[in-house]
Each structure stands twice: as C-alpha cells, then as structure tokens.
C-alpha cells in the first residue's frame, strides 16, 4: 500500500496525524537507505534530502524541514555541519523560520560548552534584587525562561514540578520574561526559585528568540548545555549528565 501513499495531500497536510505519518514514512526510508542506522549524521542528511525530494507542497515541506532542523539543534547539535545547514537554508522558503533558526545558533554560540555562566540581575517575587550568580552559587541548576503568554504553561508547570521531585539534587530556577511576579507566585509551588528580570538586566540578551530556553549549569558555574528544552524526551538524560559532571 505504500506505493500508493499521497505525501502531498494539501487538505491532510494541516492535520497533525498526517504530518506524523509522513514523517514516520520518510524516517523508515532513510533508515533503510542508511543501512538501518539512525544514530549518525548521514541518516539526518538523507532524511532532509527525502523531505526536499518527496514533499512538493511548499508550506508542508517548510514545516517538516523546520521541525527536523530544530530537532537536530536541540538533540544533535554536532550534526549541524555546513552541508545540512545549506540544505535547510536553500530549500526552506519560510524566511521567518530561517531567521529564527539563525538566531538560535547565534544565541547558543554566545554560551559555548564549559564557559562561565554570565552574571546579571534578577528580582525575586519578594522584590529583592539579586545577582543570578548568588542564586546559583555552588548548585547544579537548570535555569529556564518562561512567559505568561506561552500556550503550554500548564504543561510546563507540571513538567517542572515532576522534574523537581525526580531530581531533588538540582535547583530549577525559573525566570519570567514579562515582569509578572504575581503570576510567578501562583504558577509554581516553589516561589523561592522564581525570578524576573530587572529593567536593565543583561540577562535579557539570553532571550532574543521565542523558544522556551533552558540552560544547564553545574556547581562550578560552568555551562554544560546552553539550549535545552524541559519538554524534550532527552532532558532526563541531560540532567543525569549534569549531576555526573
């Protein structure tokens, strides 16, 4: 039946289940082409090329390309070589998606692996101005940024509370990006780990894009992951690595 699959159904392309089906179908072809190996860069290059070759609908192709390149950024950043980046930039016609992705790379490179986490001012929900380095001193921490304007806040709240229980050795420090201290108090149980930026805080330079960024910092103040996502299926593995460093 796979010989008769329509990968370019304009109506169905708007449906999440169809998008997932097409993605799984292309993954399977890439898996076979790459000698049944999904754990190397070559598999990702093949997958991107399949999207380019087999998806004719521009919006649908852009969506799949953007999804895959972002998956690589968050989970296999070392795979993003010149060839893969060029394939994305050349074949994606969504200029906003390209702009956002390029900003992601700029933001990540501002905090390279093992660099010292920068200092900046934050306000606590009690209106106390603090240095972020004082807040995270000698702690293994996850610093995550969030906004009351995000659609997934309820899921984020549950996710943070779950991770707090599973990893009590790690401090989860939330920074609200829209100066909403009262919202901070209501939203998370541990308000003592909730902050927001002061008006002139240099920390705002870390949120130049729309992604819900999280930064993992070890007890020595070194960045071990400058762009993690708390909603990722890989986050627990990354947190175990944080504790083992």
Asked if pLDDT for residue 185 goes beyond 60, the answer is: no
Report which of 217, 225, 235 is spatially closest to residue 160, judged by C-alpha positions: 235
Residue 65 confidence class, pLDDT cut points 50, 70, 90 = very high
150: left (phi over 0), alpha (psi -120 to 50) or beta: beta
Q: Given this model, what pLDDT does residue 62 score?
A: 98
C-alpha to C-alpha distances, 68 to 57, 88, 208, 241, nearest whole angstrom = 16, 9, 21, 24
Please name the residues in contact with 187: beta carbons below 8 A apart, sequence gap of 6 or more.
148, 153, 157, 194
The alpha-carbon radius of gyration of the chain (Å, integer) is 20
Dihedrals phi, psi of 176, to nearest 5 degrees: -75, 130
Kindly report, residue by residue over 16-45, the tens digit of the pLDDT.
999 999 999 999 999 999 999 998 999 999
Q: Tell me the C-alpha distance between 4 and 192, whole Å.
A: 57
Report which of 106, 130, 127, 110 is spatially closest to residue 119, judged by C-alpha positions: 130
CA angle 145, 150, 151 (to 5 degrees): 140
Maximum Cα–Cα distance across the chain = 64
Q: What is the pTM of this model?
A: 0.83
Q: Mean pLDDT, the chain, as a whole number?
A: 90
Asked if pLDDT for residue 190 goes beyond 80, the answer is: no
Tell me what the mean pLDDT of segment 185-191 comes to: 56
Asked if pLDDT for residue 6 goes beyond 80, the answer is: yes
Asked if pLDDT for residue 194 goes beyond 90, the answer is: no
Q: Dihedral through CA 156, CA 200, CA 113, CA 211, nearest 10?
A: 30
Question: Pick the residue with more confidence: 187 or 141?
Answer: 141
């Amino acid at each position: 039946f796979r010989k008769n699959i329509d990968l370019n159904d304009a109506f169905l392309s708007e449906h999440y289940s169809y998008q997932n089906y097409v993605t799984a179908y292309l993954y399977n072809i890439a898996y076979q082409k790459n000698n049944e190996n999904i754990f190397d860069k070559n598999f990702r290059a093949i997958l991107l090329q399949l999207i380019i070759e087999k998806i004719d609908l521009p919006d649908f192709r852009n969506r799949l390309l953007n999804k895959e390149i972002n998956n690589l950024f968050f989970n296999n950043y070392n795979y993003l070589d010149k060839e893969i980046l060029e394939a994305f930039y050349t074949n994606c016609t969504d200029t906003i998606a390209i702009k956002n992705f390029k900003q992601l790379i700029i933001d990540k490179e501002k905090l390279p692996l093992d660099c010292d986490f920068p200092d900046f001012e934050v306000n606590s929900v009690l209106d106390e101005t603090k240095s972020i380095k004082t807040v995270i001193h000698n702690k293994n921490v996850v610093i995550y940024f969030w906004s009351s304007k995000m659609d997934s806040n309820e899921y984020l709240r549950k996710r943070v509370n779950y991770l707090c229980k599973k990893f009590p050795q790690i401090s989860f420090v939330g920074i609200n990006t829209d100066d909403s201290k009262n919202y901070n108090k209501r939203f998370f149980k541990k308000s003592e780990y909730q902050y927001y930026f002061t008006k002139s805080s240099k920390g705002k330079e870390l949120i130049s894009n729309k992604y819900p960024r999280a930064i993992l910092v070890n007890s020595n103040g070194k960045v071990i992951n400058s762009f993690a996502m708390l909603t990722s299926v890989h986050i627990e593995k990354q947190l175990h690595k944080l504790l083992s460093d």
